[in-house]
A = this chain, B = another copy of it.
């Protein structure tokens, strides 16, 4: 293991496409800068993770509960007909879990958000406003 492997940091592609939201017990939560979909990404804060099988059972359970918290925060903050959850990692191998609020008729509905074309960044200030709402919800979670 090299020094670079031993310290958690979000993959540069994820970091470039998203903004820091909050550190939960296991994961760093980030929000994608894509106005088409209210979209969170959870990254377990441990270096070298790729598959869910790289986590322990209790860590997987914690990841699931943090995904549930994110679902509830999205539901309380934005219009939402369905939550989509996915762990793909075909492009960015670093283990990350997507939690996305979908609405009927959104830019990819009913297809998946992944591979649905380039992101459309939020207008200035709008991402910060969403982030504040979500942090308020997540910070208030038990």
Q: Residues of A with Cβ closer than 8 Å to B? A: 51-53, 57, 60-61, 63-65, 67-68, 71-72, 82-91, 93, 102, 109-112, 114-115
Interface centre among A86, A88, A89, A115 (most CB of B within 10 A): A88
Shortest C-beta distance, A102 to chain B (Å), equals: 6
Taking a contact as CB atoms closer than 8 A, the residue among B61, B82, B84, B91 that contacts A86 in the complex is B84
Selected from B64, B87, B112, the residue in CB contact (under 8 A) with A61 is: B64
| Alpha-carbon gap, A118 to B87, bound state (A) | 22
Given contacts A90-B109, A109-B90, whether A53 and B71 have CB atoms under 8 Å apart is: yes
Chain B residue with Cβ nearest A97: B85
Quick one: closest B residue to A90, CB to CB? B110
In the complex, A109 Cα to B115 Cα: how many Å?
10
Which residues of chain B are within 8 angstroms of A102 by Cβ–Cβ distance? 90
Contact of A90 among B60, B65, B84 (CB under 8 A): B84
**5 nearest A-B pairs in the assembled complex, by CB-CB distance:** A90-B110, A61-B61, A111-B115, A86-B86, A85-B87
Supposing A57-B65, A61-B61, A65-B60 touch, asked if A86 and B83 sit within 8 A by C-beta, the answer is no
Q: Is the CB of B53 within 8 A of A72?
A: yes
Q: Which residues in B have their C-beta under 8 angstroms from that of A109?
A: 90
When chains A and B are docked, how far (Å) is the Cα of A85 from the Cα of B72? 20
Contact B90 A64 (CB under 8 A): no
